[in-house]
Structure 1
Amino acid sequence: MERMSVLERTPPHPDVSAFDLQQVLEALVDPVRRGIVAQLASSGEDIACGGFGLTVSKSTATHHFKVLREAGVIRQYYVGTSRMNALRRADMDTAFPGLLDAITVAHGSRRSPA
């Protein structure tokens, strides 16, 4: 049995020049996906898919990660058997300055009691 290389296991990610504002906004409209982004932004480190404590099924979580990855919001890579997630903050700030900050601030204010 052949072993897969790291590159073969790494899912494709769009280049910054290919980011599409409509696709990014559609990815961020879902509250579960905004929660993933907010957790990555506040953690300061990459998080494994199972480390988010999401209240959705594994297959639904996989879908949410894929939408964020295909929009360019997150980068996914493997460490052993864990699929890690990293916020592409620098890339997003290059393409859409201030967008991630606005999203994470708005998400945080909605979770706080009034």
Structure 2
Amino acid sequence: MATAPSTTRELAHPTREEIRLEGVLHALSDPMRLSVVRDLAEQDEELSCSHFVLPVTKSTSTHHFRVLRESGVLQQVYRGTAKMNGLRRDDLDALFPGLLDSVLAAAAGQAHRLGRS
């Protein structure tokens, strides 16, 4: 069962056991969401939503972060007024060994090949 928020400032996240491969793959299939995950993996720390400059409206950006959170790819927490995002690498690596690293390596290779490194 997903962890339910206890206050309006907490966000619901799936437990490790609730994370599904098809949800993770769906979340990573979108270029905007994959870009967010690549940034988080490169920084290896929590980043605020405002760190990411996505060429979409705020509501679309919010949707992308929600898909990443609800699929179990991201952990989101409020720190003051900032919503911080962290990659759930430990959970993903435990459930799907090598998947995240393979996807990130493939995305980096594609970006390099297309001149978007």
Shift, 1:107, TM fit: 1.1
Shift, 1:14, TM fit: 0.5
CA distance, structure 2, for counterparts of residue 58 and residue 10 of structure 1: 20
SS in 1 for 2:36: helix
SS in 2 for 1:112: helix
The amino acid that maps onto 1:97 is: P
> Which residue of structure 2 lines up, in the alignment, with residue 26 of structure 1?
26
Shift, 1:22, TM fit: 0.9
> Which residue of structure 2 lines up, in the alignment, with residue 108 of structure 1?
108
Identity fraction in percent = 46
Q: Over aligned residues, Cα RMSD in angstroms?
A: 1.4
Once the two structures are superposed, what CA deviation does each residue of 1:95-114 show, in whole Å capped at 9, x if it has no partner?
11111101111111111146
CA distance, structure 1, for counterparts of residue 104 and residue 79 of structure 2: 26
> Which residue of structure 2 lines up, in the alignment, with residue 42 of structure 1?
42
Bigger relative contact order (CA 8 A; separation at least 6): 1
TM-score, length-normalised on structure 2?
Answer: 0.88
Structure 2: gaps of 5 or more residues: none
Q: How does 1:1-114 map to 2 (within 5 A)?
A: 7-8=6-7, 9-113=9-113
SS in 1 for 2:75: strand
TM-score, length-normalised on structure 1?
Answer: 0.90
Tell me the number of residue pairs that the alignment of Structure 1 and Structure 2 aligns. Answer: 109
Shift, 1:45, TM fit: 1.0
Once the two structures are superposed, what CA deviation does each residue of 1:31-82 show, in whole Å capped at 9, x if it has no partner?
1111110000000111100101111111111000000000000000011110
SS in 2 for 1:84: strand
The runs of at least 4 consecutive aligned structure 1 residues that moved more than 3 Å come to none
CA distance, structure 2, for counterparts of residue 104 and residue 83 of structure 1: 24
Shift, 1:7, TM fit: 4.6
CA distance, structure 1, for counterparts of residue 106 and residue 56 of structure 2: 22
The amino acid that maps onto 1:65 is: F
Structure 1: gaps of 5 or more residues: 1-5
